[in-house]
């Protein structure tokens, strides 16, 4: 991640002359964490590529209205999350692999994907996450993979910290049970 | 040790590094207390991307909306003039209708307030190799046409 501060990026963006430079720096700084966050939600590279482009378009449109009441980082995660959810909802009409019923479709898609190198346990973990309730799914991914603080997650998902902690706890319990039941060597 | 021996921005970045480390340790402890299995699973990323994907992503252009608006205005005016002509002349229209630049400008001068120049002001991300603006605008214009207008357009093209 580039070391430029968010304040410096916003300063550049606030100035008409340096707007493009600021936007470019924002993209360079945040493209990877946002991409991986989106990828864990949509799974397929081509889909993640579409979603991240749409997310940056939204950022471009909305950055002037960004009120700085929240952190830039949580605002970006919020946009990326919303874009991925919108994409998933659209895709659900044509595919069911974002649901428990379609979990084998997802597994087949991942195994055939040239940009997926996961082993059996990683696929099992993805399956376990995918069958969680929506909120628990989001909370688990942000906490487990992105190691986001509960305070920041509260800004991204607009859920209270207490509720987030409970969701994370429930998600972990369900995933653990799933792994024990489905993977022979996990005990 | 003098400051000259420290990396640039060492003290500026120190608080963030400490907070990040504390946060990671808290997270590990929390995970361990909830699930030993998850705490001990390797968190390797199973997903990969094409070579140099991120270098290319950062270099894609997010097009200035003003350029899109100008294109949108011009193209939507041209389309509107075409449709107006088709509607006025109906089925008797000849297939070689030519709308000149003067027609477009005249229509623009007379109807500028009625033209929604912002209807396609949504931004488009363009790859260096891709110039999809025209296609995108055409699709959007066509999607706004009624069935009758589309039929008329089909007959003419």
Q: Where are the domains of chain A?
A: 1-94, 99-187
Average pLDDT over residues B60-86: 58
Instruction: Check pLDDT > 70 for residue A153.
Output: yes
Q: What is the reported pLDDT for A86?
A: 92
Q: What is the reported pLDDT for A29?
A: 94
First to last CA, chain A: 37
Q: What is the reported pLDDT for B120?
A: 33
Average pLDDT over residues B2-9: 70
**According to the per-residue pLDDT averaged within each range, which of A59-68, A82-91, B57-66 is highest?**
A82-91
Q: What is the reported pLDDT for A182?
A: 87
Instruction: Check pLDDT > 70 for residue B70.
Output: no
Average pLDDT over residues A167-175: 96
More reliable by pLDDT, B77 or A122: A122
Q: Which residues contact A155 (CB under 8 A, 6 or more apart)?
A: A70, A71, A74, A75, A78
β B61-62/B125-126 pair status: antiparallel
Average pLDDT over residues A38-45: 95
Give the count of Cβ contacts less than 8 A between chain A and B.
Answer: 84
Helix (H, G, I), strand (E, B) or coil at B115: coil
The residues spanned by each domain of chain B are: 3-47, 61-156
The CATH fold of domain A1-94: Rna Polymerase Sigma Factor; Chain: A (1.10.1740)
Average pLDDT over residues A95-101: 64
CB contact under 8 A, B123 and A176: no
- pLDDT-derived band at A174, boundaries 50, 70, 90: very high
More reliable by pLDDT, B101 or A40: A40
DSSP string, A142-171: IIIIT---HHHHHHHHT--HHHHHHHHHHH
Q: What is the reported pLDDT for A99?
A: 62
Instruction: Check pLDDT > 50 for residue B130.
Output: no
CB contact under 8 A, B43 and A145: yes
B33 touches chain A (CB under 8 A): no
> Which chain A residues have any C-beta within 8 angstroms of a chain B C-beta?
3, 23-24, 27-28, 31-32, 35-36, 39-40, 43, 45, 49, 52-53, 56-57, 60-61, 115-119, 121-123, 125-126, 143-145, 147, 149, 168-169, 172-173, 175-176, 179-180, 186
- pLDDT-derived band at B119, boundaries 50, 70, 90: very low
Rounded Cα distance, A139 and A153, in Å: 8
CB contact under 8 A, B58 and A31: yes
Q: What is the reported pLDDT for B25?
A: 86
Token pair 């608080």 in the structure block, residue: B15
- pLDDT-derived band at B128, boundaries 50, 70, 90: very low
Chain B: residue whose CA lies nearest to A61: B123
Q: What is the reported pLDDT for B61?
A: 62
Q: Cβ-count burial of B4 within 10 angstroms (0-12 exposed, 13-18 middle, 19+ buried)?
A: exposed
Q: What is the reported pLDDT for A64?
A: 84
ipTM: 0.86
B contacts of A32 (beta carbons < 8 Å): 54
Rounded Cα distance, A175 and A157, in Å: 21
Q: Which residue out of A7, A44, A45, A150 would a mutagenesis test of the B interface target, given it has the greatest number of B Cβ atoms within 10 Å?
A: A45
* Tokens representing residue B89 in the block: 């002349």
* Tokens representing residue A111 in the block: 């195994």
Instruction: Check pLDDT > 70 for residue B74.
Output: no
Instruction: Check pLDDT > 50 for residue B136.
Output: no
> How many secondary structure helices (H) and strands (E) does chain A include?
9, 0
Q: Which residues contact A167 (CB under 8 A, 6 or more apart)?
A: A135, A136, A139, A140, A159
- pLDDT-derived band at B83, boundaries 50, 70, 90: low
More reliable by pLDDT, B64 or A63: A63
User: What class is the A99-187 domain?
Assistant: mainly alpha
Instruction: Check pLDDT > 50 for residue B114.
Output: no
Q: What is the reported pLDDT for B59?
A: 79
Low-confidence winner among A1-10, A50-59, A81-90 (lowest mean pLDDT): A1-10
Do B156 and B93 contact (CB within 8 A), yes or no? yes
Helix (H, G, I), strand (E, B) or coil at A1: coil
Q: What is the reported pLDDT for A178?
A: 94
Q: What is the reported pLDDT for B20?
A: 80
Q: What is the reported pLDDT for B118?
A: 34
Instruction: Check pLDDT > 60 for residue B139.
Output: no
Q: What percent of chain B has pLDDT over 70?
A: 39
């Amino acid at each position: 991640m580039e070391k430029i501060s968010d304040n410096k990026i916003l300063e550049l963006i606030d100035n008409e002359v340096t707007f493009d430079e600021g936007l470019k720096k924002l993209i360079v700084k945040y493209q990877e964490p946002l991409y991986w966050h989106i990828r864990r939600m949509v799974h397929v590279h081509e889909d993640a590529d579409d979603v991240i482009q749409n997310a940056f378009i939204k950022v471009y449109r909305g950055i002037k209205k960004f009120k700085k009441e929240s952190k830039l980082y949580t605002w970006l995660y919020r946009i990326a999350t919303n874009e991925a959810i919108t994409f998933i909802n659209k895709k659900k009409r044509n595919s069911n692999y974002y649901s428990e019923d379609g979990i084998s479709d997802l597994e087949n898609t991942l195994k055939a994907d040239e940009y997926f190198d996961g082993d059996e346990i990683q696929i099992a973990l993805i399956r376990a996450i995918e069958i969680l309730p929506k909120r628990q799914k989001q909370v688990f991914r942000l906490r487990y993979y992105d190691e986001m603080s509960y305070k920041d997650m509260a800004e991204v998902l607009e859920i209270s910290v207490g509720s987030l902690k409970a969701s994370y706890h429930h998600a972990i319990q369900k995933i653990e049970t799933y792994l024990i039941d489905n993977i022979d060597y996990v005990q | 040790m003098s400051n000259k021996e420290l990396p640039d921005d060492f003290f500026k970045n120190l608080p963030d590094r400490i907070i990040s480390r504390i946060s990671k340790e808290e997270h590990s402890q929390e995970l361990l207390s909830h699930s030993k299995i998850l705490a001990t699973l390797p968190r390797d990323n199973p997903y990969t991307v094409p070579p140099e994907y991120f270098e290319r992503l950062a270099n894609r252009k997010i097009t200035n909306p003003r350029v899109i608006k100008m294109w949108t205005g011009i193209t939507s005016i041209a389309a509107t003039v075409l449709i107006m002509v088709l509607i006025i002349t109906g089925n008797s229209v000849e297939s070689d209708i030519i709308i000149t630049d003067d027609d477009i400008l005249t229509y623009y001068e007379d109807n500028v307030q009625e033209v929604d120049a912002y209807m396609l002001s949504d931004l488009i991300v363009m790859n260096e190799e891709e110039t999809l603006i025209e296609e995108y605008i055409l699709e959007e214009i066509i999607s706004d046409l009624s069935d009758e207008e589309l039929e008329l357009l089909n007959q003419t093209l």
